[in-house]
Chain A
């Protein structure tokens, strides 16, 4: 059985009467990470939010999204909350604004663990420290005491990853996990994801407009444009042997970028 099966999902804005996501179907296989790529505004985040029932009021979703045989779009509020707590963890974009500014990161982290894993505060603290270390944070106890505005984007991103991993979910969805970070931190985070994938056996869905990241992390890829599914298949096939004009255009653009950077670097090193 597939881990997650999405059938004909469409999302539609009740106020503007516009269709945002138009009839997309895909499936997530165990241990095969999925990458969802597309330009900004193609609806990647929206679709995931739709599946997890995290949309803003005024948005309607139709279709079905089966997890362990049950349609998430039709579940009760309590049931979907349970899924979000223990089975499908989502890490949203923009780590700098992801936490409540009025409370310490530690409190928010422990609160999540207490709630989701039904454990005591003490146990939650232990687990938090352990998970933070696992994602490569050195002074974990210090970090717990800090407020969100006192930590860097990369730190916060890792905290979020730690929280996601702590409940040992089946799926972790990371939305633009590297976008707000510098290159060095980016590669750190990518390494962390790879480690988690191996250690925990979690299946990931990565949403990104950065093809390079997707190529490193995902086995399957889904290309979106304007809310529609453009191409869907194995990463290698889609990137290297695409028949689709749009996909080819995306790949080409990315290659051009990389090439010009490499060229720049070679010139520099020549001069040096």
Chain B
């Protein structure tokens, strides 16, 4: 087991290096001169001298490799430079916005798990019957509907028509409900189908037949089916965490939720390179780490895997 973990940990190092490189060269891919952009964002007319000064300030006159190494070494220490927009340290901006997104992602995650698990179990129990089809149908629509539209629809219905919840912002503890539900909807359908299909498949496996033949209770059998179906689901569920954290962009914009999704959009529209680079890099790292954790957890849970390693 330990061997496996160490092996995997080592394997992500070249991956992280590659990601850092890609995140860094983003700044060089667009046609606009970053120095000019930095000036323009603050509505400073980009005259020749101003641009030259800014280039020096940003260190753009140094060779590529030097700039890359500087960026990587300071990034590891947590220094991603300053935002072009307000000249505050990028890491501060991100640290300030991150808790809001984490809260949103966490609540969404809980909703996803609760709804997916219960829905998929119901579908499996009543496989082929009305309720199975009904749930799958609803869930299918949920996936097809764009988050932007659903969010506004929910807002209109629950906030305005029923006057139950605030429309936006982070004003009270109820504010997180609509954005979390909107965010969760997109993933629920995937997981309901994944879990249900897994479970239905497993239902037809030999050990289920045998368990029934032995006279085991329905609920016990269901538990075993569920545990077996978790394996492939865990990886998917594990990956949903970074997807949630990185994918809050639309929801945060609609619901005026002050998280990193909003921060990244503002940065992108304003070509705020330091923020964009840091965001891309951090999100990529998050994905890689979560992937690794999901793999490790799967290995721990499966005794067959354990034996191999």
Residues of A within 8 A of B (CB): 49, 52, 54, 56-58, 77, 81-82, 84-86, 89-94, 97-103, 111-112, 115-116, 147, 149-150, 160, 163, 167
Contact = CB atoms under 8 A, between A and B. Distances in A.
Given A102-B228, A111-B220, A149-B304, A92 B215 contact: no
B206 A89 contact: no
Given A99-B210, A101-B302, 10 more contacts: A77-B218, A81-B215, A81-B217, A84-B213, A92-B210, A100-B227, A111-B216, A112-B214, A112-B215, A160-B210
A149 B206 contact: no
Nearest to B204: A56
Contact of B228 (A54, A98, A101): A101
Nearest to B215: A85
Contacts, number: 78
Given A57-B128, A97-B205, A102 B216 contact: no
B214 A93 contact: no
Nearest to A52: B213
A206 to B, nearest CB: 15
Contacts of B212: 54, 84
A85 B214 contact: yes
B217 A93 contact: no
Contact of A97 (B206, B302, B303, B304): B206
Contact of A99 (B207, B220, B307): B207
A189 B205 CA distance: 24
Contacts of B213: 52, 54, 84, 89-92
Contact of B207 (A58, A85, A90, A101): A101
A99 B211 CA distance: 8
14 contacts: A86-B215, A89-B214, A90-B213, A91-B210, A92-B209, A97-B206, A99-B207, A101-B207, A101-B303, A102-B301, A102-B303, A103-B224, A111-B220, A150-B307
Contacts of B206: 92-94, 97-98
Nearest to B209: A92
Contact of B214 (A94, A150, A163): A163
A54 B211 CA distance: 10
Nearest to B301: A102
Contacts of B215: 81-82, 84-86, 112, 115-116, 167
Contacts of B127: 57
Interface of B: 127-128, 204-207, 209-218, 220, 224, 227-228, 301-304, 307
Nearest to B132: A57
A52 B217 CA distance: 15
Contacts of A57: 127-128
A109 to B, nearest CB: 9
| A-B pairs, 9 with minimum CB distance | A85-B215, A90-B213, A97-B206, A84-B215, A98-B210, A112-B214, A100-B207, A100-B224, A147-B303
Instruction: Name, among A90, A116, A150, the residue most crowded by chain B CB atoms within 10 Å (CB to CB).
Output: A90
A85 B221 CA distance: 14
Contact of B303 (A81, A116, A149, A160): A149
A101 B304 contact: yes
Contacts of A150: 307
B260 to A, nearest CB: 38
Contacts of A89: 213-214
Nearest to A55: B209
Nearest to A96: B206
Nearest to B217: A115
A167 B301 CA distance: 32
Contact of A58 (B128, B205, B214, B227): B128
A90 B214 CA distance: 7
A81 B304 CA distance: 31
Contacts of A102: 224, 227-228, 301-303
A73 to B, nearest CB: 16
Contacts of B303: 101-102, 147, 149
Nearest to A58: B128
Contacts of A163: 214
Contacts of A160: 210
A77 B216 CA distance: 12
A149 B205 CA distance: 16
Contacts of B220: 111, 115
A262 to B, nearest CB: 35
A112 B207 contact: no
B307 A149 contact: yes
